[in-house]
Structure 1
Amino acid sequence: MTDDLKDTTTTEAAAEDWAKLKLPPRLTGLPMPVWITENDGYPHDVRVKVSTLHGGRGSWRTAPPIAVRPQPHEIVPGSLPAADFVLVSRWIDLNRDVILDYWNGTIDFDGVAPRLQQVQP
Protein backbone atom coordinates (compact mmCIF):
# COMPACT_ATOMS: atom_id res chain seq x y z
CA MET A 1 0.00 0.00 0.00
CA THR A 2 1.33 3.45 -0.81
CA ASP A 3 1.78 6.17 1.78
CA ASP A 4 -0.55 8.43 -0.22
CA LEU A 5 -3.44 5.99 -0.25
CA LYS A 6 -4.56 4.75 3.12
CA ASP A 7 -6.69 1.70 3.72
CA THR A 8 -8.52 2.92 6.81
CA THR A 9 -9.70 -0.50 7.87
CA THR A 10 -9.71 -1.03 11.64
CA THR A 11 -11.19 -3.79 13.75
CA GLU A 12 -13.76 -1.36 15.11
CA ALA A 13 -14.77 -0.13 11.67
CA ALA A 14 -14.70 -3.55 10.02
CA ALA A 15 -18.33 -4.25 10.75
CA GLU A 16 -19.35 -0.88 9.32
CA ASP A 17 -17.22 -0.98 6.21
CA TRP A 18 -14.13 -3.03 5.62
CA ALA A 19 -13.13 -1.72 2.23
CA LYS A 20 -13.06 2.05 2.48
CA LEU A 21 -10.21 4.12 1.09
CA LYS A 22 -9.38 7.56 2.43
CA LEU A 23 -8.25 9.80 -0.40
CA PRO A 24 -6.32 12.80 0.95
CA PRO A 25 -6.44 16.27 -0.62
CA ARG A 26 -3.08 15.81 -2.36
CA LEU A 27 -4.62 13.05 -4.51
CA THR A 28 -7.98 14.67 -5.24
CA GLY A 29 -7.36 18.41 -5.40
CA LEU A 30 -10.23 18.83 -2.93
CA PRO A 31 -9.66 20.82 0.26
CA MET A 32 -10.79 17.84 2.37
CA PRO A 33 -10.41 14.06 2.35
CA VAL A 34 -13.01 11.80 0.78
CA TRP A 35 -13.64 8.09 1.19
CA ILE A 36 -14.69 5.62 -1.48
CA THR A 37 -15.89 2.09 -0.77
CA GLU A 38 -16.42 -1.28 -2.36
CA ASN A 39 -19.99 -2.52 -2.51
CA ASP A 40 -20.31 -5.04 0.28
CA GLY A 41 -23.98 -5.77 -0.26
CA TYR A 42 -25.16 -2.33 0.78
CA PRO A 43 -28.87 -1.59 0.35
CA HIS A 44 -27.97 1.73 -1.33
CA ASP A 45 -26.23 2.69 -4.56
CA VAL A 46 -22.66 3.97 -4.81
CA ARG A 47 -21.69 6.83 -2.50
CA VAL A 48 -18.61 8.69 -1.37
CA LYS A 49 -18.18 10.20 2.07
CA VAL A 50 -16.74 13.69 2.44
CA SER A 51 -15.05 15.21 5.47
CA THR A 52 -16.54 18.48 6.64
CA LEU A 53 -13.06 19.51 7.82
CA HIS A 54 -10.62 21.04 5.37
CA GLY A 55 -7.09 19.64 5.40
CA GLY A 56 -6.25 15.98 5.83
CA ARG A 57 -8.35 15.52 8.95
CA GLY A 58 -11.79 14.10 9.33
CA SER A 59 -13.64 11.03 10.43
CA TRP A 60 -15.41 8.46 8.30
CA ARG A 61 -18.12 8.21 10.92
CA THR A 62 -19.05 11.90 10.83
CA ALA A 63 -18.49 12.46 7.10
CA PRO A 64 -21.73 13.03 5.18
CA PRO A 65 -22.46 10.64 2.30
CA ILE A 66 -22.82 11.94 -1.23
CA ALA A 67 -24.62 9.77 -3.79
CA VAL A 68 -22.84 9.36 -7.11
CA ARG A 69 -25.76 8.38 -9.37
CA PRO A 70 -27.60 9.51 -11.34
CA GLN A 71 -25.70 12.72 -10.58
CA PRO A 72 -23.93 13.75 -7.37
CA HIS A 73 -26.40 14.71 -4.66
CA GLU A 74 -26.41 15.03 -0.90
CA ILE A 75 -28.20 12.26 0.97
CA VAL A 76 -28.90 14.81 3.70
CA PRO A 77 -29.44 18.19 2.02
CA GLY A 78 -27.23 20.92 3.47
CA SER A 79 -24.74 18.48 4.99
CA LEU A 80 -21.89 20.24 3.18
CA PRO A 81 -21.36 23.95 2.57
CA ALA A 82 -22.61 24.81 -0.93
CA ALA A 83 -19.13 25.64 -2.28
CA ASP A 84 -17.75 22.31 -1.00
CA PHE A 85 -20.64 20.39 -2.53
CA VAL A 86 -20.05 22.04 -5.93
CA LEU A 87 -16.36 21.12 -5.82
CA VAL A 88 -17.03 17.55 -4.65
CA SER A 89 -19.63 17.15 -7.42
CA ARG A 90 -17.05 18.21 -10.01
CA TRP A 91 -14.53 15.75 -8.53
CA ILE A 92 -17.09 12.92 -8.65
CA ASP A 93 -17.88 13.73 -12.29
CA LEU A 94 -14.16 13.64 -13.15
CA ASN A 95 -13.60 10.35 -11.32
CA ARG A 96 -16.93 8.57 -11.78
CA ASP A 97 -15.37 5.60 -13.62
CA VAL A 98 -12.73 5.08 -10.90
CA ILE A 99 -15.32 5.35 -8.12
CA LEU A 100 -17.61 2.88 -9.89
CA ASP A 101 -14.80 0.45 -10.70
CA TYR A 102 -13.73 0.39 -7.05
CA TRP A 103 -17.37 0.05 -5.91
CA ASN A 104 -17.88 -2.87 -8.31
CA GLY A 105 -14.61 -4.58 -7.34
CA THR A 106 -13.15 -4.20 -10.83
CA ILE A 107 -10.07 -2.52 -9.33
CA ASP A 108 -8.53 -2.69 -5.88
CA PHE A 109 -6.83 0.07 -3.90
CA ASP A 110 -3.66 -0.17 -6.00
CA GLY A 111 -5.67 0.66 -9.11
CA VAL A 112 -7.30 3.79 -7.70
CA ALA A 113 -4.47 6.33 -7.30
CA PRO A 114 -3.03 6.08 -10.82
CA ARG A 115 -6.46 6.81 -12.32
CA LEU A 116 -7.54 9.69 -10.09
CA GLN A 117 -7.93 13.12 -11.62
CA GLN A 118 -7.53 16.19 -9.45
CA VAL A 119 -10.26 18.77 -9.50
CA GLN A 120 -9.18 22.33 -10.17
CA PRO A 121 -10.56 24.94 -7.73
Structure 2
Amino acid sequence: MVDMAISLKDMMLLDGALGAAVVDYNSGMPLGMLGGSRDLDLEIASAGNTELVRAKLRTIEQLGLNEEIEDVLVTLGGQYHLIRPVRGRKSRGLFLYLALDRERGNLALARHRLKDIEEQIEV
Protein backbone atom coordinates (compact mmCIF):
# COMPACT_ATOMS: atom_id res chain seq x y z
CA MET A 1 0.00 0.00 0.00
CA VAL A 2 1.14 3.51 -0.84
CA ASP A 3 0.20 6.69 1.00
CA MET A 4 -1.62 9.58 -0.63
CA ALA A 5 1.39 11.92 -0.90
CA ILE A 6 3.36 9.33 -2.88
CA SER A 7 0.33 8.59 -5.06
CA LEU A 8 -0.03 12.29 -5.90
CA LYS A 9 3.66 12.53 -6.76
CA ASP A 10 3.34 9.44 -8.98
CA MET A 11 0.46 11.04 -10.86
CA MET A 12 2.46 14.23 -11.37
CA LEU A 13 5.41 12.25 -12.79
CA LEU A 14 3.38 11.49 -15.91
CA ASP A 15 4.45 13.55 -18.93
CA GLY A 16 2.09 16.48 -19.35
CA ALA A 17 0.59 16.27 -15.83
CA LEU A 18 -0.89 19.65 -14.87
CA GLY A 19 -2.51 18.80 -11.55
CA ALA A 20 -3.58 15.86 -9.44
CA ALA A 21 -5.94 15.36 -6.51
CA VAL A 22 -7.48 12.71 -4.31
CA VAL A 23 -11.08 13.77 -3.75
CA ASP A 24 -13.84 12.71 -1.35
CA TYR A 25 -16.96 12.60 -3.52
CA ASN A 26 -19.26 12.66 -0.50
CA SER A 27 -18.07 16.15 0.46
CA GLY A 28 -16.49 17.32 -2.81
CA MET A 29 -13.34 18.26 -0.93
CA PRO A 30 -9.85 17.29 -2.05
CA LEU A 31 -7.96 15.33 0.61
CA GLY A 32 -4.69 16.05 -1.17
CA MET A 33 -3.58 18.05 -4.19
CA LEU A 34 -0.41 18.59 -6.16
CA GLY A 35 0.21 20.91 -9.08
CA GLY A 36 -2.47 23.14 -10.49
CA SER A 37 -2.07 26.72 -11.62
CA ARG A 38 -3.89 30.00 -11.92
CA ASP A 39 -5.80 28.43 -14.81
CA LEU A 40 -6.39 25.11 -13.03
CA ASP A 41 -7.79 25.60 -9.53
CA LEU A 42 -7.79 22.07 -8.14
CA GLU A 43 -10.33 22.86 -5.42
CA ILE A 44 -12.86 24.10 -7.98
CA ALA A 45 -12.06 21.18 -10.30
CA SER A 46 -12.50 18.72 -7.42
CA ALA A 47 -15.91 20.10 -6.51
CA GLY A 48 -17.08 20.16 -10.13
CA ASN A 49 -15.86 16.66 -10.86
CA THR A 50 -17.61 15.44 -7.71
CA GLU A 51 -20.90 16.47 -9.30
CA LEU A 52 -19.97 14.55 -12.44
CA VAL A 53 -19.17 11.38 -10.46
CA ARG A 54 -22.35 11.67 -8.37
CA ALA A 55 -24.50 12.15 -11.49
CA LYS A 56 -23.00 9.10 -13.18
CA LEU A 57 -23.43 6.97 -10.05
CA ARG A 58 -27.11 8.02 -9.85
CA THR A 59 -27.62 7.19 -13.51
CA ILE A 60 -26.06 3.74 -13.11
CA GLU A 61 -28.33 3.12 -10.12
CA GLN A 62 -31.47 4.37 -11.91
CA LEU A 63 -30.71 2.14 -14.88
CA GLY A 64 -30.37 -0.83 -12.54
CA LEU A 65 -26.93 -1.65 -13.87
CA ASN A 66 -24.73 -3.89 -11.80
CA GLU A 67 -21.64 -1.91 -12.81
CA GLU A 68 -19.01 0.39 -11.32
CA ILE A 69 -17.31 3.36 -12.92
CA GLU A 70 -13.86 2.33 -14.12
CA ASP A 71 -12.86 5.82 -15.15
CA VAL A 72 -14.25 9.00 -16.67
CA LEU A 73 -12.52 10.99 -19.39
CA VAL A 74 -13.34 14.60 -20.16
CA THR A 75 -11.63 15.80 -23.31
CA LEU A 76 -11.01 19.53 -23.70
CA GLY A 77 -9.28 21.33 -26.55
CA GLY A 78 -5.91 21.34 -24.82
CA GLN A 79 -6.36 18.99 -21.86
CA TYR A 80 -7.54 15.59 -20.74
CA HIS A 81 -9.22 15.31 -17.35
CA LEU A 82 -9.20 11.77 -15.93
CA ILE A 83 -11.29 10.66 -12.98
CA ARG A 84 -10.88 7.22 -11.43
CA PRO A 85 -12.95 6.13 -8.42
CA VAL A 86 -10.98 4.27 -5.75
CA ARG A 87 -12.46 0.85 -5.04
CA GLY A 88 -10.43 -0.29 -2.04
CA ARG A 89 -12.67 -1.02 0.91
CA LYS A 90 -10.86 1.53 3.11
CA SER A 91 -10.91 4.18 0.40
CA ARG A 92 -14.46 3.94 -0.95
CA GLY A 93 -16.00 7.32 -1.65
CA LEU A 94 -12.79 8.73 -3.11
CA PHE A 95 -11.61 9.37 -6.64
CA LEU A 96 -8.31 10.19 -8.28
CA TYR A 97 -8.30 13.24 -10.51
CA LEU A 98 -5.60 14.05 -13.06
CA ALA A 99 -5.44 16.96 -15.48
CA LEU A 100 -3.12 16.24 -18.39
CA ASP A 101 -1.81 18.48 -21.17
CA ARG A 102 -3.18 16.99 -24.37
CA GLU A 103 -0.08 17.63 -26.49
CA ARG A 104 2.49 16.34 -24.00
CA GLY A 105 0.55 13.61 -22.25
CA ASN A 106 -0.09 10.02 -23.22
CA LEU A 107 -3.71 9.20 -22.46
CA ALA A 108 -3.32 5.41 -22.58
CA LEU A 109 -0.31 5.50 -20.26
CA ALA A 110 -2.09 7.88 -17.87
CA ARG A 111 -5.15 5.60 -17.65
CA HIS A 112 -2.92 2.60 -17.01
CA ARG A 113 -0.91 4.45 -14.34
CA LEU A 114 -4.07 5.71 -12.56
CA LYS A 115 -5.34 2.13 -12.44
CA ASP A 116 -2.10 1.05 -10.75
CA ILE A 117 -2.22 3.96 -8.30
CA GLU A 118 -5.88 3.32 -7.50
CA GLU A 119 -5.09 -0.30 -6.63
CA GLN A 120 -2.25 0.68 -4.28
CA ILE A 121 -3.38 3.89 -2.60
CA GLU A 122 -4.03 3.93 1.14
CA VAL A 123 -5.78 6.89 2.72
TM-score scaled by structure 2?
A: 0.28
Which of structures 1 and 2 has the larger relative contact order (alpha carbons within 8 angstroms, sep 6+)?
A: 2
